[in-house]
A = this chain, B = another copy of it.
Amino acid sequence: MIKITFPDGAVRSYDKGVTPFEVARSIAEGLSKKVLAANVNGLVTDANHPIEGDAFLQLLTWNDTAGKSTFWHSSAHLMAEAVESIFPGVKFWVGPAVENGFYYDMDLGDRKMSEEDLLSLEKKMNELAKKNSAFIRKKISKTDAIQYFSEKGDEYKLDLLEGLQDGEITFYTQGDFTDLCRGPHIPNTSFIKAIKLTSIAGAYWKGSEKNKMLTRVYGVTFPSQKELDEYLTMLEEAKKRDHRKLGKELGIYTMDDDVGPGLPLWLPNGTIIIEELEKLAKETEQAAGYKRVVTPHIAKESMYLTSGHLPYYADSMFPPMEMDGEKYYLKAMNCPHHHKIFDAEPKSYKDLPFRIAEYGTCYRYEQSGELFGLMRVRCLHMNDAHIYCSREQFFEEFRAVNEMYLKYFQIFGIEKYVMRLSLHDPAKLGQKYVNEPALWIETEAMVRKVLIDTGTPFIEVQDEAAFYGPKIDVQIWSTIGREFTLATNQVDFNSGLKFKLSYTNSSNESEVPLIIHRAPLGTHERFIGFLLEHYAGRFPLWLSPLQVKVLPISDKFLPYAKQVEQALLESGIRVEIDDRNEKIGKKIRDTELSRTPFMLVVGEKEMQENSVSVRRQGLGDQGMQSFETFKNQIRDEIQSRKG
């Protein structure tokens, strides 16, 4: 008998050689039908792979990222099988799963693949999927593998084989198709119920333009037609909500060749949103006992040698500036500067927890090909803070940080989110992970307890922690169901030692503080990019660059419109008048299009009664109200950050 430990900590006994699939069936028949693969001791394997000793086991389904990847990787094999039946003699390079689906690179010889071919391929794949062919794994010697692909005449697979060691080579076969592959794969093709091949592109072999151009076919598959339909609708909607398109239309940001790629310039409307987000963060952090600091954007090389960012992280940093015989770097993170602030004045246990926050601007080098609108940039305005605390204070501090995340999700109407808790691997202590076994166990347990106690949805990932402690990556979904990685939240036992930080505890001894790194709103860049899609540019009242537009029916009512405008301005409301010489119908239509939350139509009756006719974006005519009532209501609504 062997012992199987599950993610929730439960332990059960099974016969040696039991498969994850069998384990699933022992729990529930329904579960076994959903298992795509399994995480066994941190390695993703086939669901039918026997487990030979005591093990940690996580059953992977469509809801797990690794489950989805396996599904899509198997779909790439299915597509290859279909391609081979329609384009006999095709040669294959590699076919991985990617963020939203999969692709396969292939050499079609003199033949070309057209959009129409994609439809035939989809049809063929559907046929093959229904055959319910198992994905069969087979170990094979290097000699036999070379012989197989030599006979097939696929020099690309032979090239891959060159880099592999004898003894580690496996083939996977489903139906009539066999591929060199390390796996894992889903149990059989019938799991794949809905298929969409999305595009054809050219891709140089091994990414080098000196090599032959191969054909790359992209696709995406799902376990049901419903999910494919939803995905296609989401894509359609995402196109309309593209943050680059909306960012331009709404005057949020611009890019300029003379400034440089990945360096957004924030226009007045974008800056209003930035300042509202900062205001929210400052209020929230102040209420939570944070103090604020301001640090320079550069520091000497020595600081990053101490922190360990240099040399290991050098590729992600901007190149140095050489000055006075020293190298200066643009900061890629705020932590080292904050550690210096902790260290600037002596600390005792009475000063802890010491929480310091800064909307720090960091610079990171990204390949120019990787840059993408506000989502992948080189300049990052980060909602950063560091909490220095004792071990006794840690649980409460981490809980409070988690609460803050949840509070923000509520404010922004983020209904779907998952915390991805990355843990260490005890076998790698002292190498991949700082060698503090007790602290790892203690803090991982505390972090887990916070997530469970607060009912926060989370998944655990083995062996993906940071060097210095467990971390949480926050995944959120926009209203149209697209996933974004928002922020991370990390525990750090190591930087305190590296920077020789200390405080005097109540027994008058020197201790090193624990550090929590947290950035719930992530960066302005990514978060505003997300919000543009999330709200389709229709920002809630409190965030909207323009909150109210006053529409006088004719010039005669301009003085009254100005009176209304002035009173709103004095209440801190962002308001403008549409003083164009246009019909009121056109003014209303144009204001609808500009996505302004409130329109106030003013004419004879409104002026006489000191009132306004209110139209609300998306809701239409709300009738006439006394101006005073309207003003108080809108002020309250802005203050509450609702709507």
Contacts and interface: CB of A to CB of B under 8 A. Distances in A.
A324 B344 CA distance: 37
Closest 5 CB pairs of A and B: A268-B291, A266-B294, A254-B344, A258-B303, A263-B296
Given A258-B303, A300-B260, A293 B318 contact: no
Contacts of A324: 368
A464 B419 CA distance: 61
Given A260-B296, A260-B298, A265-B293, 19 more contacts: A256-B340, A257-B302, A258-B299, A258-B306, A259-B296, A259-B298, A259-B299, A259-B300, A263-B298, A267-B293, A268-B292, A270-B294, A272-B292, A274-B294, A296-B379, A298-B318, A298-B363, A318-B321, A320-B321
A344 B306 contact: no
Nearest to A287: B569
A326 interface: yes
A145 interface: no
B265 A337 contact: yes
Interface string A258-290: 111001111110111011000000000000000
Contacts of A321: 318-321, 330
A340 B379 CA distance: 17
Interface string A293-332: 1111111101100100000000000111111101010100
A251 interface: yes
B265 A295 contact: yes
Contacts of A265: 293-296, 337, 340-341, 344
A222 to B, nearest CB: 39
Contacts of A254: 340-341, 344-345
A365 to B, nearest CB: 7
Contacts of A266: 293-295
24 contacts: A257-B300, A257-B302, A258-B306, A258-B336, A259-B296, A259-B303, A259-B340, A260-B299, A260-B328, A265-B293, A265-B294, A266-B294, A267-B341, A268-B291, A270-B294, A271-B293, A297-B297, A297-B363, A318-B321, A318-B328, A321-B321, A323-B365, A324-B368, A330-B330
A223 to B, nearest CB: 42
B263 A345 contact: no
A34 interface: no
Interface residues of A, number: 54
A337 B259 contact: yes
A381 interface: yes
A520 to B, nearest CB: 20
A356 interface: yes
Given A293-B266, A320-B321, A256 B298 contact: no
Contacts of A271: 291-294
A521 to B, nearest CB: 15
A361 interface: yes
A573 to B, nearest CB: 12
A298 B330 contact: yes
Contacts of A295: 259, 265-266
A328 B318 CA distance: 10
B340 A258 contact: yes
A368 B326 CA distance: 12
Contacts of A292: 268, 271-272, 275
Contacts of A318: 298, 321, 323, 328
A400 to B, nearest CB: 17
Given A294-B266, A321-B318, A330-B321, A300 B340 contact: no
A437 to B, nearest CB: 31
B344 A267 contact: yes
A324 B340 CA distance: 32
A126 to B, nearest CB: 45
Nearest to A306: B258
A341 B270 CA distance: 12
Contacts of A272: 292
Contacts of A365: 323
Contacts of A259: 295-296, 298-300, 303, 337, 340
A264 B295 CA distance: 7
Contacts of A326: 260
Interface in A216-270: 251, 254, 256-260, 263-268, 270
Nearest to A269: B291
A522 to B, nearest CB: 16
A391 B34 CA distance: 73
A256 B298 CA distance: 12
Nearest to A377: B296
A363 B296 CA distance: 9
Contacts of A328: 260, 318
Contacts of A274: 294
Nearest to A340: B256
Contact of A322 (B319, B340, B356, B368): B319
